[in-house]
Amino acid sequence: MRKVFILSGAGLSAESGIPTFRDSGGWWEKYDVMQVCSVQGWQENRALVTRFYNERRAELKQKEPNAAHHAIAKLQERFGERIWNLTQNVDDLLEKAGCQKVIHLHGTLRDLRCEACGHVWDIGYRAQREDERCPACAAASVRHNIVMFGEPAPAYRYIKRAVDESALFIAIGTSGDVIDIVMLASDFSHSILVDPKRKMYVTSFGSHERYIDEYFETYLQKRAAEAAAELEERVTAFLSR
Ligand SMILES: [Zn+2]
């Protein structure tokens, strides 16, 4: 049975008003990235990091999914398990669009996690309280559920499964800085890249003289929402063949 592996990144949610790390004028003028997104920063100042994620979670309440989130939701509704829906985003816009199954590679803003027993639970858009306790084991050591720099990302195991099981790879709005989408694409005869801006492929060995899109079978040089209808058509055609 043919399957499709969709990997999305910040570009998917950018049009819904969720800023990326690299956007200037966003949160990063108020906060230092390594202060709020690294294990070291967390160890140094848990209150600051908790406040940061409380603010992000509260902002999420007003955000709406765009055409690209809806396209993925429709594909999932139509093809079910044949769509691997992996995202690097920590927002809940795919869920808001109606996706039943989303694998969040870097965690989720709405959830908290117990450091004692590992239990994860949804608190919606409210702030984590100072006296927050784990509903499963009552421990008081509770944290946000975002993967920080310097700690493992257990959901990455699904990338391997998605690669093994799929015949088409689609990368939407991901710069490839964290997950090497060129390496992933090279495993596929069929691949689609959605990104409005052409980017050079950079590896740990330095910059290659080729653009990332050159490693993909098809390049849609569009923003995610603009490409949504075409993506939906292409995936539907591919899985109906
Ligand atoms: Zn617990």
Among the options 106, 119, 144, 208, which is catalytic? 106
Distance 94 CA to ligand 1 centre (A): 27
| Known catalytic membership, residue 106 | yes
Distance 85 CA to ligand 1 centre (A): 28
> φ, ψ for residue 142 (rounded to 5)?
-120, 140
For residues 2 and 14, what is the distance between their CA atoms, to the nearest angstrom? 30
Task: Give the fold, CATH level 3, of 4-17+65-106+152-240.
Answer: Rossmann fold (3.40.50)
What is the residue extent of each domain of the chain?
Answer: 4-17+65-106+152-240, 27-62+111-146
Whole-prediction pTM value?
0.94
Residues 6+ apart with CB under 8 A from 117: 134, 136, 137, 139
Task: Give the fold, CATH level 3, of 27-62+111-146.
Answer: SIR2/SIRT2 'Small Domain' (3.30.1600)
Distance 141 CA to ligand 1 centre (A): 8
Distance 143 CA to ligand 1 centre (A): 11
Per-residue pLDDT of the chain (241 residues; tens, 9 = 90+): 899 999 999 999 999 998 765 554 566 677 888 899 999 999 999 999 999 999 999 999 999 999 999 999 999 999 999 999 999 999 999 999 999 999 999 999 999 999 999 999 999 999 999 999 999 999 999 999 999 999 999 999 999 999 999 999 999 999 888 899 999 999 999 999 999 999 988 876 766 678 999 999 999 999 999 999 999 999 999 999 8
Per DSSP bridges, beta strands 83-87 and 103-104 are parallel
Token pair 């003028």: residue: 29
Between CA 34 and CA 36, with CA 35 as vertex, the angle to 5 degrees is: 95
